[in-house]
Structure 1
Amino acid sequence: MKKVTLLLCLFVFSFLVSCGGKEEQKLDEIPKATETVEQPIVDNSKIELGEEIFEGKGTCVACHKPNIKVVGPSLHNIATIYKEKNASIVTFLKGEGEAIVDPAQFEVMKANFAITKTMSDEELQALEAYIYSFL
């Protein structure tokens, strides 16, 4: 019985020692976040201007809400799809891009190009920043 207990103890000890070494190797292989990840700089004043335009002269709030589809897609949905496709919201708002989020609603949105085409690039970029703030 003593031999079995001794063998069992040796086996458990060997197992624990060998597992510990593998964990250390895995930790060494993990890249440090500061070496590979850059954080984007968020311009809050641009987002605030975008929100003001969205809720005011842009009349966007009539059809778009942050997290639910009303007439048009949600801001979160718009931001997600434009980011995934690396597309430009500004180009679309200028009437120069395709509808990629909800093409079936394009005709409804097209009426609003009369408003968005009069906006400056700064205002359109602010709207884009505001929409991306919902990611």
Structure 2
Amino acid sequence: MKKILLLSLVLLSFACKNKEAEPFGKQEITIDSEGMPASNQKPEELGEVIFNGKGNCTACHKVETKLIGPSVQEIAKIYKDKNSDIIKFLKGEGEPIVDPSQYEVMKANFAITKAMSDEELKALEAYIYSR
């Protein structure tokens, strides 16, 4: 019985020491219950996480160059110049103003963007404008 108890304590102590020390200066990202970064991040940071992850935006958009869709910089410039609403477009309620020829491709992704919260859409917009 003592051997089993001792063995259990040894295994438990090794399990508790499993976490490695992180390098100095590494940014900590807190994850909420839905697997998304917690809202203590700047909107641009949250937007970048969404753009590169949940939003699947990188499948068609790059920051500086056109891939399938226009670049993030081009999107930001046109929306700023025309004083248009990116969030309205991502909700499927706005007209395509950047590259209407790619609108049908983008429409398929509205299922993703329509499911996003207003906070997530605002963060995505903030990321786009920050590039």
- TM-score, normalized by length of structure 1? 0.66
Distance 2:122 2:46 in 1: 10
Q: Root-mean-square deviation (CA), in Å?
A: 0.8
Matching of residues 82-97 of structure 1 within 5 Å: 82-97=79-94
Residue matched to 1:76: 73
Q: Give distance in 2, aligned partners of 1:67 and 1:55.
A: 15
Aligned residues: 91
Residue identity over aligned pairs, in percent, reads: 69
Q: Which runs of 4+ in 1 moved over 6 A?
A: none
Distance (whole Å) between structure 2 residues aligned to residue 61 and residue 133 of structure 1: 16
CA displacement at 1:56 relative to structure 2: 0.4
Q: Secondary structure at the match of 1:69?
A: coil
**1:51 maps onto 2:84 in alignment:** no
- Mapped partners of 1:100, 1:127: distance in 2: 18
| Equivalent position SS for 2:106 | helix
User: Which residue in the other structure is 2:113 paired with?
Assistant: 116
Aligned-pair distance for 1:130? 0.3
Point out the structure with the larger helix share. Answer: 1
Deviation by residue 1:47-104 (Cα, 9 ceiling, x = unmatched): 0000000000100011000010000000000000000000010000000000000000
Q: Compare CA radii of gyration and give the structure with the larger one.
A: 1
Give, as a single letter, the amino acid of the residue that structure 2 aligns with 1:69.
Answer: K
**Gap runs ≥5 in structure 2:** 1-40
What amino acid does structure 1 have at the position aligned with 2:104? E
Residue of structure 2 in register with 1:60 after alignment: 57
2:68 counterpart SS class: coil
Aligned equivalents of 1:50, 1:115: Cα separation in 2? 14
